[in-house]
Amino acid sequence: MVNESSVIGSNRVDFQVAICQTDKAYRRGDADRAMKGDIMSQFKSGISTVAMVTAMAFGLAACNDTSVEETKAPTVEEAAAFMADAEKQLFEAGTSLERKAWVQANFVTVDTSAIVAEADEEFTLLGVKLANETKRFQDLELPAELRRKMNILKGALTLPAPDDAAKTAELAKIKANLDATYATGKVEMEGETLSLGAVSDIIASDRTPERLLAAWDGWHKISKPMKDDYARMVDIANEGARELGYKDVGAMWRSGYDMDPDEFATMVDGLWGEVKPLYDALHCHVRSKLSDFYGDRVVSDTGPIPAHLLGNMWAQEWGNINDVVQQGAGSDASIDVTSLLKDNGYDAIKMVEKAEGFFTSLGFDPLPDTFWDRSLFVKPADREVQCHASAWNVDGKEDVRIKMCTKVNAEDFVTVHHELGHNFYQRAYNKQDPLHMNGANDGFHEAIGDMVALSMTPDYLKQIGLIDEVPESSDPVPGLMRQALDKVAFLPFGLMVDKWRWQVFSGEVGPDQYNDAWWKLREEYQGLKAPNDRPADAFDPGAKYHIPGNTPYMRYFLARILQFQFYKAACDQAGWTGPLHECSIYGNKEVGEKFNAMMEMGASKPWPEALEAFTGSRTMSGEAIIAYFQPLKAWLDEQNANRTCGW
């Protein structure tokens, strides 16, 4: 009998080299040669399979040992070549995914959802692969821009899958299912089957508490089936985030702001601290008015406000109850833009044309013909679509589009300006490298259009022909109140959505606590409560699109801060010296030129540099929003003098 150990031992180095050569043949795709035994056959004779496998195990473990082959350290040139190739792959794969996602959002079916799930799986696999490959260069001293690209690439996926094909496929399927569940949600009410749009109309306009509760509760039932899938998604994504070196997905999201994740959390808490007194004053006044309107049995004049009475399904903006809050305001009441739009024969297309006109008045080029040919402006009658308003750049260049189920009202007129802000921003930075084709941070992207919407003053409404004369009124409160019911009321909601997700991703809140934690934060930050006892299986977070849609939400809080900071800087540049809320930059091409210069930077520089380029400051601040609403805050303090505020 042959002594196996002596055969292997006498040829140890040659045998190890052969194993490594075989392993490398597999890795470079030369499996045919490896399987044929061209490399290993000379060692097979006289050695049992068990001994061979054992020897191969030890040999493979040593394949990276410098005794066999010196491992070559990566170079800056290799890192740059890797990045160029990675950006090319991501751009091509992202464009393909974007086209499929556009079709799915406009034709929500089982098949289109499956197609997007498959494409998303492929894109996620590519993103995970490239993100993991950045580890090779993590200890290499790189030029600052290249190092920043490595960090962007590592954190590029919203939900990273682990390096596991089965889990990647599972994650993609869960994401598609969550999205489809939301998009196809229906409410059975009063003998009818209602969509989100229909029940949202009830929440916005009805003033019957029982009917409001039925609409609110009906929509919040559609998210119950999401809970288990959502919990599983959290587990898989957290595993992926940890493989990339993050504590969890929440920490990964917070790392995308050119600062330490914990420092970012501290920064947003500081911003909230600046604006909280303004929100508290608004909350106190609105609660008192609701109590007067509905009676103390429905709304106590102390404690949290029931969430179904504020004119919005998620109580994130309260503008639809302006008639309750400013009941009897008389001739000084704010301009009714919804009525003006309808009286002047506006439809969805005309609303978008006017929004485009604002941007072109600043010197931006008109939108391409393809925008008008390919966008979705109204809800089709013959199919399911994802109605949540969104802006797209399908090819990363000029194929910009919006998708909206537009209604002729003031809220959607503002939303159209907001979505076009995304499109003009996308087009401004379309010459940047692929990883820099984004906002300086995600709050910038959301703030652009909203900054323009702040210029929709009575003077602007006259300039576009919606009114003949600017109303003569020395009282700024009605108009500012109408603005605050949306802009200020939103602030704590914009903050708490991701506060909840950070707790979920960190494990601080488990699946059995999802709903309780959601309402605890809503009470803490918004001063709101659920309008009824929530069932044990409720998953109320899922009734908000951005939760099943996995869209980070802190961007919207930052945008509420940044839009006023941008707006004040623009008004200062325009030489405006009057009350801030009366300023409009419509038609000011000098401001537009400087604004476009910031937009063209995309994500090529850290956000403080982009902010400084337009505003002169490197720090986000709540000072501008406080200055804008100063007349209202002074008035609210007077109104609240004898009330018990807080909750």
Catalytic site residues?
A: 419, 546
Q: How many CB atoms lie within 10 A of CB 187?
A: 22
393 phi/psi in degrees, rounded to 5? -125, 95
User: What are the DSSP calls for 196-215, one per residue?
Assistant: HHHHHHHHHH---HHHHHHH
- What distances in angstroms separate CA 513 from CA 131, 421, 450, 516, one per listed residue? 32, 38, 35, 5
Residues 454 and 448: their CA atoms lie apart, in Å, by 10
What is the torsional sign of CA 94, 452, 388, 239? positive
Q: Extract the tokens encoding 435.
A: 């990883």
Amino acid residing at 65? D
Residues 449 and 418: their CA atoms lie apart, in Å, by 4
Residue with tokens 């909350």: 283
Residues 550 and 173: their CA atoms lie apart, in Å, by 13
Q: Extract the tokens encoding 165.
A: 């094909």
Q: Extract the tokens encoding 527.
A: 């001063």
Burial environment of residue 295 by CB neighbours within 10 A (0 to 12, 13 to 18, 19 or more): exposed
Q: Extract the tokens encoding 215.
A: 């609409």
Axis crossing angle, helix 607-615 with helix 589-600, rounded to the nearest 10:
170
Residues 366 and 509: their CA atoms lie apart, in Å, by 48
CB burial of 129-146 (b: ≥16 within 10 Å; e: otherwise) equals: ebbbebeebeeeebeeeb
Q: Extract the tokens encoding 203.
A: 């929440």
Residues 479 and 208: their CA atoms lie apart, in Å, by 26
Residues 615 and 592: their CA atoms lie apart, in Å, by 13
The number of residues in the chain equals 647
65 φψ region: left (φ > 0), alpha (ψ -120 to 50), beta (else): beta
Contact predicate 467/344, CB 8 Å: no
- Say whether 424 sits in a helix, a strand or coil: helix
Amino acid residing at 202? I
Which residues lie closer than 8 Å to 574 by C-beta, 6 or more apart? 583, 585, 588, 590, 591
Q: How many CA atoms lie within 13 Å of 624's alpha carbon, on the beta-carbon side?
A: 23
Contact predicate 601/433, CB 8 Å: no
- Say whether 400 sits in a helix, a strand or coil: strand
Q: How many CA atoms lie within 13 Å of 378's alpha carbon, on the beta-carbon side?
A: 10
Residues 615 and 595: their CA atoms lie apart, in Å, by 9
Amino acid residing at 173? K
Q: Extract the tokens encoding 479.
A: 């108009």
Name which of 506, 553, 547 is nearest 227 in CA terms.
547
